[in-house]
Amino acid sequence: MFRSLARLNQFVGRYSGRLVVGVTLFLVARLFEASIPIFLKIGIDSVDTGNADLLLPVIGIIGAVIGRFFTVSWARIAVRRAAFLVAYDIRRDFYDHLQAMGAKFFGQFSIGDMMTRAVADISLIQRLISHGTILAVIMVFATIVGFAFMLYLSPLLTLLILPPLPFVFLYTWRAAREMGVASRAVQDRLSDIGSHVQENLSGIRTIQAMVQEDNEVERFSATNQAYADAFYRHSRINSLMSAVMPTMAAICSIVILGVGGWLVLEGDITIGDFTAFFFYVNMVVQPFRVAGMVVNMFQRAAVASNRLFDVFDRKPEITDDPEPTAPTHIRGEIQIRDLHFTYDGANRPTLNGINLEIERGESISIMGRVGCGKTTLLKQLVRILDTPAGTVFIDGHDVRDYPLAQLRAQVAMVPQDPFLFGEPLRDNLTYDDPTRRLDRIWMAAESADLKDTIESMPEQMETVVGERGVTLSGGQKQRATLARGLIRHAPVLILDDCFSAVDTETEEHILAELERLRSGQTTIIVSHRVSTARHSDRIVILDEGVISEIGSHDELLEAGGFYAELERIQREGADQSDYAQAGGGS
């Protein structure tokens, strides 16, 4: 437990000054609290002996209460402020770390799991520092101060407190181990709930379209029940501990009450001594009452820190060269030399010896069957996948020599999954640079054939498109992400199947705009449509990870291979569609 919590020192140490101040003030507060029984003893003994001078005890008690009030208030502010700052730093660093992680990491961890760690786990650590630290400090200081005054008042009564302590320690140690296992199970099941909810809501349209609401409710009930069972086991251990500790404290109080009362009757101690001693007994046994709560906080925070450092300890798959040698501006010449790539766990390579040269300003279309490696090849150019050294070059420099930020800024990739944020459309189109002028935004929208759509919206550019662009159609989302790529005016533009949800008329408009805007700049397009590829300077056909055909539209038709067959199928399909629309198919 303490090993994982000790690793938090890299965050807690930044605010050690606040914590030291808080702990010191808590010690002072314990001393103020411990002085109250002494003044009470003086007052009681004065009355008992017939001396009615109570001014000193009254002033002393009032001063101690006021002093304790202010020191405890300041101490709590210092400790809780430090806890908030520690949680803030952990959450910020955790989020920063996730930004650098790659596809392999997110293939192992679900988004819902990461959300649980970023919210619930960090909150447990904050709670430990803000509340657990206070309780732990009170336990330690109350015990030390209380025992010191008890020894001063009556060594014999003090010895009666010692026998139960070994049993308390052993029971606490055993319960802490069981609670650690139970806490891990609770947090893991909570992550399962987060993952289930995130996945379910992301696919809610599919669920509703396939009438699977009831089945999903049943699946969630099973996940929820697993969490409830884990939480029940954890609560049972915590509840038992919370019951046993106060019972032990009560037994100690009863023993002290009986023996102390007998000593008063025998005249060995005064009534004031016994009253003050009983106050100190309550101060010492107070930790017994909160021990279960403290152990619970420490164990859950230890599990939470383990889960967080499990993520922190994973290094980013793709990193910058510490001494990059590439130029600061990319022109757009691309060379691919004997590129092989195999996904982890795959039986065969996805790319198997790709060799390709693309001149600056050239437009290239990449086609092939599903799963032939088209998207994988594009990801190598921007290092979304870890590109093997000495295989992909831009302007004669290994792509690994470019800083990732520069590479991905100057090689703009529009992915096939059109993702939009739940923000105004304008913010989505200018995501990489919100300061762009409005006229440039409209120009990009017009080039992507999105202008009429935006003008038809009630708030136009300020229209909020909903989470993941849920308020837009598939074609509108594709055109919006295309406009987001066009507005960057990057030396290299990569379009990964960005026309699949648009009609042929819109496609022709966009391709004409691409030819106009991208003159002299390199453009790479993945498509399944011959009508898209035919506009490119060259067409590359991938087949099971290798280049099987390469050439212009006319050259590949003449070759009579895969491209020619695909062109015939799509042309005949278009002819039949036109015939049906004219009424011949009814």
Retrieve residue 377's tokens: 């090849």
Domains 2-312 and 334-581 share a fold: no
| Paired sense of beta strands 392-394 and 363-368, if any | unpaired
Cβ-contact 182, 230 below 8 angstroms: yes
Of 502 and 435, the one with more pLDDT: 435
The Cα–Cα gap between 253 and 247 comes to 10
Three-state secondary-structure class, residue 450: coil
What kind and span of H or E run contains 351?
A: strand 351-358
pLDDT given for residue 210 in this prediction:
63
Q: Which CATH number fits domain 2-312: 3.50.50.60, 1.20.1560.10, 2.60.40.10, 1.10.10.10?
A: 1.20.1560.10
C-alpha distances in Å from residue 102, one per residue of 30, 301, 382, 384: 51, 28, 12, 7
Domain boundaries, the chain: 2-312, 334-581
Cβ-contact 522, 350 below 8 angstroms: no
pTM: 0.73
Q: Which of 153-157, 238-242, 550-554 has the lowest mean pLDDT?
A: 238-242
Closest C-alpha among 296, 301, 291 to residue 7: 301
pLDDT given for residue 389 in this prediction:
86
Query: DSSP letter at 116?
Result: H
**CATH assignment of 334-581?**
3.40.50.300
- DSSP states of 261-318: HHHHHHTSS-HHHHHHHHHHHHHHHHHHHHHHHHHHHHHHHHHHHHHHHHHHTSPPSS
Closest C-alpha among 281, 220, 275, 225 to residue 250: 281
Share of the chain above pLDDT 70, in %: 89
Phi and psi at 369, nearest 5°, equal: -70, 165
Q: What is the pLDDT of residues 248-293, one digit of tens each?
A: 767 777 777 777 777 777 777 777 777 777 787 777 777 666 666 7
Residue 585 banded pLDDT, cuts 50, 70, 90: very low
- Amino acid identity of 190? L
Residue 580 banded pLDDT, cuts 50, 70, 90: very low
Share of the chain above pLDDT 90, in %: 1
63 phi-psi bin (left φ>0, alpha ψ -120 to 50, beta other): alpha
Residues 6+ apart with CB under 8 A from 441: 426, 429, 430, 461, 487
Beta-bridge mates of residue 524: 364, 494
